[in-house]
Amino acid sequence: MLCLCSCSPRIMVDVMKSYPKTVSDSVHVFEIGQVVPNAAEVIGRVAVVDNGFSTNCQYGEVLKLAKEKTAEVGGNGLMLTWHKMPSLMSSTCHQIEGKMLHLTDMVIDTTVQNPIMEAEAKQQEIIIKDRKRFEAPASTFYLQVGYGSITSKLYLADETKVSPLSGLEWRVESNHTYKSGLGVSAIYAGYHRKISSSQDYADYYLHYVAPALTYSLRVDRFIGRVGFGMGLGYYDDGLSQCASFASNFDVRFEYMLSGKVGVNLAMSDMLMIMPKRYQVDDLNPGIERLSFTTGIQFYF
């Protein structure tokens, strides 16, 4: 019995008024957006959701459970207000919520007041407005500039140590975020610093191009994002050049000045794996740099 119960979806009921019990087959279902009769009376709410172990939760099954609960309290109508489709990112079950109705007739007159539909429309406006407070913009374009510091060991030809080496950092990024908060980005980042000693010099340029996976979390006007990417790095010291594998890890904080533009502060750690002839030792296989940038972003 415990195993059978654990496989069933969870049913939550809030009863405001009851009538003599009806038959579940007689419960008329109004799908989301359908207009209910003007004389309909709300007698409660019912929700059928995943309990974490649900297996028998196809749409027809969860709808059947909601109709049975509606009939138990004397309802003969069910107005669906929420339906969450199965998803690999959350639940593999259909989940629904609705208002249990007592219907005396099926007359629908759009020329007169319909209290239930008006109340539902206002409720949906509130839900959408509240959801947007926690939903990151779908598309964002970044322009950033700041400070970068190479933390790996670097030497000039005369063996002068030049790390940590600070320089100018710049970055351009385009991001697309889905409603789940997961997103994808296309990144270009660059770094420049010229340095010299009494006998040698170097004009360092580092370039990075890569796709990245991101996760965004928004609260009102504040957005936090983390990202990880792997792509191509390009090294140029003025005398020699090479291209190799590179990666990045980013943390960014944003503030939305409006629905179209904002400002941000970011920290990024980048690593470019250098060919063997450039490596100082086995513990120093590449060039790592830590950068702090700020800039503006545009929301679309």
- Averaged pLDDT, 54-58: 79
Residue 97, Ramachandran bin (φ over 0: left; ψ between -120 and 50: alpha; else beta): beta
Domains and CATH numbers, the chain: 2-132 (no CATH), 139-299 (2.40.160.20)
Q: When comparing pLDDT for 216 and 89, which is higher? A: 216
Please give the full DSSP string across 36-102, using - where no structure is assigned. PPTT-EEEEEEEEE--SS-----HHHHHHHHHHHHHHTT--EEEEEEEEPP-TTS-SS-EEEEEEEE
Residues 59-84 have pLDDT tens digits of: 999 999 999 999 999 999 999 999 99
Strand order of the sheet with strand 10-15? 10-15, 41-49, 95-102, 77-84, 28-30
Note every long-range contact of 179-184, with CB atoms under 8 Å and residues 24 or more positions apart, other chains counting: 179/135, 180/89, 181/136, 181/215, 181/216, 181/217, 182/89, 182/213, 182/214, 182/215, 183/136, 183/213, 183/214, 183/215, 183/216, 184/211, 184/212, 184/213, 184/214
pTM of the model: 0.66
Give mean pLDDT, residues 125-150: 89
Q: What is the tens place of the pLDDT at every residue in 152-177?
A: 877 665 566 666 688 999 999 999 99
Structure tokens at 124: 């949906």
Per-residue pLDDT band at 57 (split at 50, 70, 90): confident
Over residues 183-206, the pLDDT tens digits come to: 999 999 999 988 876 666 778 899
User: Do you find a cis peptide bond into 137, omega within 30 degrees of 0?
Assistant: no
d(CA 278, CA 242): 10
Q: For residue 149, what pLDDT band results from cuts at 50, 70 and 90?
A: very high
Closest CA to 98 of 29, 20, 38: 29
List the single range of 62-66, 235-239, 268-272 with lowest mean pLDDT. Answer: 235-239
pLDDT in tens, 271-285: 998 877 665 555 567
R_g of the chain computed on alpha carbons: 30
Pick from 95-109, 122-136, 196-210 the range whose average pLDDT is largest.
95-109
Determine contact, residues 212/248, Cβ cutoff 8 Å: yes
